[in-house]
């Protein structure tokens, strides 16, 4: 049955990892904010959460970064209010500089945000992060699966029983609509229109968008809504669309856990995340001839430059279009029935026919330019 698996030798009845934790290893030098956190850090995170209304994921990321910084300061016998620029420099020379460029850039933003807030509140006079520079981020190309690999994953999701029906509906929506994991898990009862083939989701910045839904996704979702979801509700009405075996909303950790199991079955372990399905959705649309603006709308990108990142894997598609369309690049099927006349003038003589088949050096130079 879908979502049924073993975790550390124990079967998960809910289709989720038995532990409620994310499975992320503890960060070196970090201490939990729950373990004697600095009240000013807690106040700043509340400011982000309630006044700036940043997303829970963003606030959580900032919280982890600041907890790591607090732990580092404690080891140096310092505190947040008394930190100097050399403490900040030492932090990024040690554990603060670990990880990807994007991770380090977020830590820089976390510390800048904290001390900017403390300066505005007149709790510190000098900003120890004033000299910090955000590391230049590489424009990493998104990792995508081929169409065949996506179909291999979906082919291992057997819609037998309520959990299997749920799993197939989820992964069909991830790939068929390009949803983020948070958008998928945030879907409610009234957010899907099976007859119209539409899904309403709320993305970053609480921006709502309508995404078309294909026949495969609509079929899988309809099957789940008519059968599996009613079973998982256990007689209780819940607005959330995707539930675990206990009838509670499926978590992000549960979704990741399920995907890992299906990737293993498909022989693609470690090759994809839930976001890879979104990348693949966009890339396959562009390769199929969809225009960039339409894909931007479906993904909910504020800037088309973000969507342009997906054009990298469509180069082969563009090459095919070029070879089929350009008058100097069109492919010609070899003429196996061509006969050559003696070189006595006329149609078979050297000249016009040979020039067409064998360009002169001047022609080559013109084509190179």
Which residues are catalytic, by number? 180, 204, 275, 278, 301, 310
Q: For the purposes of burial, counting CB atoms within 10 Å of the CB of 216, is it exposed (0-12), middle (13-18) or buried (19 or more)?
A: middle
Phi, psi angles (nearest 5°) of residue 260: -55, -40
Contact 324, 331 (CB under 8 A): yes
Q: Which of 5, 25, 28 is nearest to 15 (CA)?
A: 5
What is the C-alpha to C-alpha distance for residues 255 and 259, in angstroms, rounded to an integer?
6
- CA 166, CA 171: separation in Å to the nearest integer? 9
Beta bridge partners of 198: 193, 212
- Say which DSSP state 191 is in: G
Contact between 322 and 329 (Cβ < 8 Å)? yes
Question: For the chain, how far is it from start to end, CA to CA, in angstroms?
Answer: 60
Q: What 8-state DSSP symbol labels residue 228?
A: I
């Amino acid at each position: 049955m879908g979502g049924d698996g073993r975790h550390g030798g124990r079967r998960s009845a809910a289709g989720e990892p038995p532990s409620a934790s994310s499975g992320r290893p503890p960060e070196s030098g970090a201490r939990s904010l729950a373990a004697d956190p600095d009240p000013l850090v807690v106040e700043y995170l509340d400011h982000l959460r309630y006044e700036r209304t940043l997303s829970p994921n963003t606030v959580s990321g900032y919280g982890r970064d600041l907890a790591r910084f607090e732990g580092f300061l404690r080891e140096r016998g310092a505190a947040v209010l008394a930190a100097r620029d050399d403490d900040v420099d030492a932090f990024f020379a040690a554990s603060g500089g670990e990880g990807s460029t994007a991770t380090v850039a977020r830590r820089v933003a976390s510390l800048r945000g904290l001390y900017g807030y403390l300066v505005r509140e007149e709790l510190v006079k000098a900003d120890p992060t004033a000299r910090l520079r955000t590391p230049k981020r590489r424009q990493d190309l998104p990792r995508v699966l081929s169409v065949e690999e996506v179909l291999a994953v979906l082919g291992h999701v057997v819609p037998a029983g309520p959990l299997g029906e749920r799993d197939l509906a989820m992964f069909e929506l991830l790939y068929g609509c390009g949803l983020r994991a948070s958008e998928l898990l945030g879907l409610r009862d009234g957010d899907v229109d099976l007859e119209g083939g539409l899904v309403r989701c709320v993305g970053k910045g609480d921006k709502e968008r309508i995404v078309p839904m294909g026949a495969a996704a609509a079929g899988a979702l309809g099957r789940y809504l008519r059968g599996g979801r009613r079973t998982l509700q256990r007689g209780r009405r819940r607005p959330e669309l995707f539930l675990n075996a206990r009838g509670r909303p499926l978590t992000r950790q549960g979704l990741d856990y399920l995907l890992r199991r299906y990737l293993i079955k498909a022989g693609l372990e470690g090759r994809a995340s839930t976001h890879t399905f979104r990348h693949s959705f966009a890339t396959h649309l562009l390769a199929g001839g969809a225009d960039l603006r339409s894909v931007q709308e479906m993904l909910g990108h504020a800037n088309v430059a973000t969507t342009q990142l997906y054009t990298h894997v469509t180069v082969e598609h563009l090459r095919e279009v070029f070879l089929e369309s350009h008058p100097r690049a069109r492919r010609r099927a070899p003429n196996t029935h061509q006969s050559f006349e003696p070189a006595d003038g006329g149609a078979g003589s050297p000249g016009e026919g040979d020039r067409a088949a064998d360009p002169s050096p001047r022609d080559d130079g013109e084509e190179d330019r």
